[in-house]
């Protein structure tokens, strides 16, 4: 059995089959972007072990097809196994070995990047300090409880667990969260006095003043889903503690500002502010004497250092809207290393600190205080960021070595008859 | 090219270790609930609710005999009907954003509604009397006037509490309101505010007491209007910010719709709204001087205006009517022929009490 597995993984036929499947996968995955959008197509075809046919797929989608993970991992195993089987340390093989090692490094690096890299956004306005960045696509339902004047205990439930009917428990929570409905994307509408004809989603919290309904899933790279969950809180003894709405619309300053602006146009500033404030009203549970707030917010990644946005600079070429220079001056404070320094982050000059890279991403004015600058830094964590450079370098060295080795052999062979003739 | 063969036994364990490692890496991606301690969140500071929008407290009260709880109005959290052989009266409890310091304007606004002039500061000081309301001291005042030849009286108390001002208003036939004033004052004393998450509120109201299930100015599911809708009008699906919509009879190809919206404020004033309407008809904006050319007072309703706009076979009649602290926006808009034909019906509809 082991012998057969070994032969399977060291087979060059497997390499050819996998490369062929890889070509087909790239083709399918590229065409699928037309219907599924870039993000969804990439996730479905390249970030899964197996791709299965779904309702609504075009006719050409096969019932089952190996995904990017399985093809990549099998290629990696195939390459490593072939090397283990055929490796020999000689000057003749050094080039080939180096080339193959470089390719292994590229494959492994891509896997590491895909599994462990993370992109997020640190969004703040001038004067604000941030110790966390936020995901651009992933959301979390968080329950927070004050443990002292400065700190909160946080229990975060990733959106991947928020499935209809799911019952979610955590040792820190004195209740169970039952997901009645989860909409990956949603739209809010204000329950204006005397306007609404149907009952609210629930008679608790923000749902008394705001309705939410499901929206089609956002598929574009620049589009974002705004989820809403209808959750039921159940006490430790099974008692019902109410049904609530947790919506991303209530916890994102940009979304709230958008809602406020939309209503300002139709009903004026004061009423719009009143309407928007009913969306952001805190929602609180009082269970066994503990007060828990909850919210649906972008998934957060906390750092052990802080950045304070000191100043934003946004210059454009005179007479145009074309950006000339936009940069953020931040104060970096790291209690762990004792660092406290000011850094300018601008195009092609990111801040690298703590295994993270901070790139200047967005810039504008604060939605609330228009005279205050706001900046968005893209925060990238990629433990495998060096592997493509190292892999390509090693492949290049290996190919050059192999070329030169054969070239010198060829020249030597050509010289030998000439030398013999001269003798 | 020939590769020298190596022993399978030498490499298989290492290979399997690699394969197992890859499988382990793949298995690490399962999402799970996690908890941690984090600095107090200041991210939503700028989303903090505006004054007046903090969570409403829960209200309880003792209901006087003869009072019957009715479905709350659109802005009120509770309302009651008083049935009396001499006529009728109603009581409503309405929260508003804190209006402390604007008592004079409030009293005068309500006086205007019964066609009474404003009070001087000295008269106002006498009119506003202290009264115990719940656990605090409010101000009570009375307004006696007439409507359609009938003597009516309003006895109202206001209490500024936190981010809200609470209005307790009894109005109806003069004789009935006067006779029930003592009960109304006792009712004010019996009111209790309690805080906490409504769902977790443990204090169930006593059988003789009532409670607002939740004191938010949310509307009931049923509009429940009492206005007089012309029989020829067809009810149409409402849009955003609208409370009612009707289609008026078409005149050949000409069609028009009536819409009604209600807001707790005047949404920028008459000029801003008329200009918004003018834009909808592709008319240029006007100024205060031009406003007088296209608007007129609407009958005797204080503060109510009627805008009459026409442009290229399109026309609009827009009415802004302040009622009980709210602003009703009526709009008849469409093809000119249909608007002209429905004009009188529209005006009758606007005048009818909602």
| Nearest-angstrom CA–CA distance, A390 and A403 | 20
The DSSP-derived string for B225-290 is: ------TT-EE----TT-SEEEEPPPBTTB-EEEEEEEESS-TT-HHHHHHHHHHHTTPPP--HHH
- The mean pLDDT of B97-109, rounded to a whole number, is 72
Q: Higher model confidence: residue A329 or residue A114? A: A329
| Nearest-angstrom CA–CA distance, A151 and B223 | 45
Q: A241 contacts in B (CB within 8 Å)?
A: 199-200
β-bridge pairing A290-316 and A284-287: antiparallel
- The mean pLDDT of A135-160, rounded to a whole number, is 90
Confidence of residue A211 (pLDDT cuts 50, 70, 90): confident
Q: B43 contacts in A (CB within 8 Å)?
A: 253
How far does B127 lie from chain A, in Å, by closest CA?
A: 30
Question: Mean pLDDT for chain B?
Answer: 74
How confident is the model at residue B77, as a pLDDT?
A: 74
How confident is the model at residue A273, as a pLDDT?
A: 78
How confident is the model at residue B173, as a pLDDT?
A: 87
How confident is the model at residue A301, as a pLDDT?
A: 93
| Residue-wise pLDDT tens digits, A17-45 | 999 999 999 999 998 888 787 778 888 89
How confident is the model at residue A168, as a pLDDT?
A: 93
Residue B3 has pLDDT above 50, yes or no: no
Q: Higher model confidence: residue A74 or residue B231? A: A74
- Determine the angle formed by the axes of helices A68-86 and A94-116, rounding to 10 degrees: 150
| Nearest-angstrom CA–CA distance, B269 and B325 | 14
| Nearest-angstrom CA–CA distance, B94 and B74 | 9
The answer to whether the CB of A80 falls within 8 A of the CB of B15 is yes
Residue B211 has pLDDT above 60, yes or no: no
Residue B237 has pLDDT above 70, yes or no: no
How far does B5 lie from chain A, in Å, by closest CA?
A: 5
How far does A350 lie from chain B, in Å, by closest CA?
A: 24
Residue B196 has pLDDT above 80, yes or no: no
How confident is the model at residue B232, as a pLDDT?
A: 85
Residue B14 has pLDDT above 80, yes or no: no
| Residue-wise pLDDT tens digits, A334-383 | 988 888 999 999 988 999 998 899 999 888 877 666 677 889 999 999 88
How far does B99 lie from chain A, in Å, by closest CA?
A: 14
Alpha-carbon torsion angle A149, A338, A353, B22, nearest 10? -80
- The mean pLDDT of B82-108, rounded to a whole number, is 77
In this complex, which of B219, B263, B264 lies closest to A196 when CB atoms are compared?
B219
Whether B8 has its CB under 8 Å from any CB of chain A: the answer is yes
Residue A154 has pLDDT above 90, yes or no: yes
How confident is the model at residue B152, as a pLDDT?
A: 84
Whether B17 has its CB under 8 Å from any CB of chain A: the answer is no
- The mean pLDDT of A145-170, rounded to a whole number, is 91
Q: Which of B26, B29, B46 to mutate to test the interface with A (most CBs of A within 10 A)?
A: B46
Q: Which of B27, B36, B43, B198 to mutate to test the interface with A (most CBs of A within 10 A)?
A: B43
The answer to whether the CB of A312 falls within 8 A of the CB of A124 is no
Q: Could you tell me the end-to-end alpha-carbon distance of chain A, in angstroms, rounded to an integer? A: 61
| Nearest-angstrom CA–CA distance, A84 and A82 | 6
- The mean pLDDT of B96-109, rounded to a whole number, is 72
How far does B158 lie from chain A, in Å, by closest CA?
A: 21
Q: Which of A110, A191, A194, A253 to mutate to test the interface with B (most CBs of B within 10 A)?
A: A194
| Residue-wise pLDDT tens digits, B128-144 | 999 999 878 899 999 88
**Model confidence pTM above 0.90:** no
- Determine the angle formed by the axes of helices A94-116 and B8-27, rounding to 10 degrees: 20
Residue B92 has pLDDT above 50, yes or no: yes
How confident is the model at residue B199, as a pLDDT?
A: 27
How confident is the model at residue A182, as a pLDDT?
A: 95
Alpha-carbon torsion angle A301, A302, A303, A305, nearest 10? 140
| Nearest-angstrom CA–CA distance, B114 and B147 | 7
The CA-based diameter of chain B, rounded to the nearest angstrom, is: 115
The answer to whether the CB of A227 falls within 8 A of the CB of A299 is no
How confident is the model at residue A64, as a pLDDT?
A: 92
Alpha-carbon torsion angle A317, A321, A326, A328, nearest 10? 140
Integer angstrom CA distances of residue B63 from B56, B79, B125, B184? 21, 11, 30, 10
Interface of B with A in 183-242 (CB under 8 A): 196-200, 213-214, 216-219, 221-223, 225, 238, 240-242
In this complex, which of B36, B243, B265 lies closest to A194 when CB atoms are compared?
B243
- The mean pLDDT of A393-420, rounded to a whole number, is 89
Confidence of residue B205 (pLDDT cuts 50, 70, 90): very low
Whether A204 sits inside 8 A of B199 (CB atoms) is yes
Residue A216 has pLDDT above 80, yes or no: yes
| Residue-wise pLDDT tens digits, A51-105 | 998 887 888 888 999 999 899 889 989 988 888 887 777 778 888 889 988 998 9
Question: Mean pLDDT for chain A?
Answer: 86
Confidence of residue A125 (pLDDT cuts 50, 70, 90): confident
| Nearest-angstrom CA–CA distance, A368 and A390 | 47
Residue A228 has pLDDT above 50, yes or no: yes
Residue B81 has pLDDT above 90, yes or no: no
Q: What is the 3-state secondary structure (H, E, C) of chain A?
A: CHHHHHHHHCCHHHHHHHHHHHHHHHHHHHHHHHHHCHHHHHHHHHCCCEEECCCCCCCCCCCEEECHHHHHHHHHHHHHHHHHHHCCCCCCCHHHHHHHHHHHHHHHHHHHHHHHCEEEEEEEECCCEEEEEEEEEEEEEEEEEECCCCEEEEEEEEHHHCCCCCEECCCCCCEEEEEEEEECCEEEEECCCCCCCCCCCCCCHHHHCEEEEECCCCCCCCCCCCCEEEEEEEECCCCEEEEEEEEHHHCCHHHHHHHHHHHHHHHCHHHHHHHHHHHCCCCEEEECCEEEEEEEEEEEEEEEEEEEEEEEEEEECCCCCCEEEEEEEEEEEECCCCEEEEEEEECCECEEECCEEEEEEEEEECCCCCCCEEEEEEEEECCCCCHHHHHHHHHHHHHHHHHHHHHHHHHHHHHHHHHHHHC
- The mean pLDDT of A261-265, rounded to a whole number, is 73
Please state, for a pLDDT cut of 70, what percent of chain A lies above it.
Answer: 94
Alpha-carbon torsion angle B48, A263, B99, B45, nearest 10? 10
Nearest Cα neighbor of A403 from A100, A99, A107, A90 is A99
Residue B53 has pLDDT above 80, yes or no: no
């Amino acid at each position: 059995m082991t012998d057969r597995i070994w032969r399977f993984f060291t087979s060059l036929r497997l390499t050819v089959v996998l490369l062929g499947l890889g070509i087909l996968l790239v083709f399918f995955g590229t065409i699928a972007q037309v219907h599924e959008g870039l993000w969804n197509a990439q996730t479905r075809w390249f970030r899964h072990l197996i791709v299965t046919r779904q309702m609504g797929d075009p006719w050409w989608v096969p019932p089952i097809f190996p995904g990017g993970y399985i093809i990549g991992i099998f290629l990696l195993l195939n390459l490593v196994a072939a090397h283990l089987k055929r490796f020999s340390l000689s000057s003749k093989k050094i080039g080939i070995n180096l080339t193959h090692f470089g390719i292994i490094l590229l494959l492994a690096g891509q896997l590491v990047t895909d599994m462990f890299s993370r992109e997020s956004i640190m969004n703040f306005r001038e004067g604000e300090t941030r110790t966390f960045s936020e995901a651009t696509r992933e959301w979390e339902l968080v329950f927070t409880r004050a443990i002292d004047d400065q700190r909160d205990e946080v229990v975060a439930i990733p959106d991947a667990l928020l499935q209809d009917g799911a019952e979610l428990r955590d040792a820190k929570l004195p209740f169970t969260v039952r997901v009645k409905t989860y909409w990956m994307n949603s739209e809010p509408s204000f329950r204006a006095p005397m306007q609404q004809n149907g009952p609210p989603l629930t008679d608790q919290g923000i749902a008394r003043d705001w309705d939410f309904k499901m929206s089609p899933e956002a598929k574009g790279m620049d589009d974002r889903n705004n989820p809403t969950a209808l959750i039921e809180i159940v006490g430790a003894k099974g008692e019902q503690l109410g049904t609530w709405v947790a919506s991303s619309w209530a916890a994102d300053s940009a979304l709230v500002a958008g809602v406020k602006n939309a209503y300002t146009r139709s009903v004026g500033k004061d009423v719009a502010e009143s309407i928007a404030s009913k969306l952001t009203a805190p929602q609180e549970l009082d269970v066994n004497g503990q007060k828990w707030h909850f919210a649906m917010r972008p998934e957060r990644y906390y750092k052990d250092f802080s950045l304070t946005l000191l100043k934003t600079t946004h210059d454009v070429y005179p007479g145009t809207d074309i950006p000339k220079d936009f940069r953020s001056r931040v104060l970096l404070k790291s209690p762990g290393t004792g660092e406290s320094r000011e850094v300018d982050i601008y195009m092609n000059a990111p801040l690298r600190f703590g295994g993270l890279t901070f790139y200047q991403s967005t810039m504008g004015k604060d939605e609330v205080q228009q005279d205050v600058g706001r900046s968005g830094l893209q925060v990238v964590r990629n433990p495998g960021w060096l592997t493509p450079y190292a892999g390509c370098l090693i492949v290049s060295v290996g190919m050059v070595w192999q070329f030169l080795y054969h070239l010198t052999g060829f020249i030597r062979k050509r010289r030998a008859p000439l030398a013999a003739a001269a003798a | 090219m020939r590769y020298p063969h190596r022993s399978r036994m030498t490499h298989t364990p290492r290979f399997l270790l690699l394969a197992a490692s890859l499988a382990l890496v793949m298995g690490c991606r399962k999402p799970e609930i996690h908890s941690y301690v984090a600095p107090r969140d200041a991210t939503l500071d700028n989303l903090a609710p505006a004054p007046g929008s903090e969570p409403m407290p829960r209200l309880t009260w003792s209901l006087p005999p003869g009072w019957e709880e009715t479905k709350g109005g659109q802005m009120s959290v509770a309302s009651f009907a008083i049935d009396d052989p001499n006529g009728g009266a109603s009581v409503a409890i309405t929260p508003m954003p804190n209006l402390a310091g604007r008592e004079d304007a409030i009293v005068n606004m309500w006086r205007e509604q019964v066609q009474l002039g404003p009070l001087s500061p000295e008269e106002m000081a006498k009119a506003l009397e202290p009264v115990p309301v719940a656990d605090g001291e409010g101000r009570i005042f009375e307004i006696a006037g007439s409507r359609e030849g009938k003597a009516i009286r309003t006895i109202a108390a206001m209490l500024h509490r936190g981010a809200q001002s609470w209005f307790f208003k009894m109005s109806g036939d003069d004789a009935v309101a006067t006779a029930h004033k003592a009960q109304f004052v006792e009712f004010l004393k019996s009111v209790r505010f309690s805080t906490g998450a409504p769902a977790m509120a443990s204090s169930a109201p006593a059988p003789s007491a009532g409670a607002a299930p939740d004191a938010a100015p949310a509307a009931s599911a049923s509009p429940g209007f009492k206005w007089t809708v012309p029989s020829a009008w067809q009810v149409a699906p409402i849009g955003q910010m609208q409370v009612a919509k009707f289609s008026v009879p078409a005149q050949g190809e000409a069609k028009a719709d009536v819409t009604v919206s209600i807001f707790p404020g005047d949404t920028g004033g008459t000029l801003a709204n008329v200009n918004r309407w003018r834009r909808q008809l592709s008319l240029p904006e006007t100024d205060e001087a031009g406003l007088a050319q296209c608007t007129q007072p609407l009958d005797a309703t204080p503060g109510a205006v009627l805008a009459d706009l026409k442009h290229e076979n399109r026309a609009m009649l827009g009415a802004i009517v302040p009622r009980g602290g709210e602003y009703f926006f009526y709009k008849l808009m469409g093809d000119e022929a249909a608007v002209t034909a429905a004009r009188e019906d529209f005006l009758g509809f606007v005048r009818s009490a909602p």
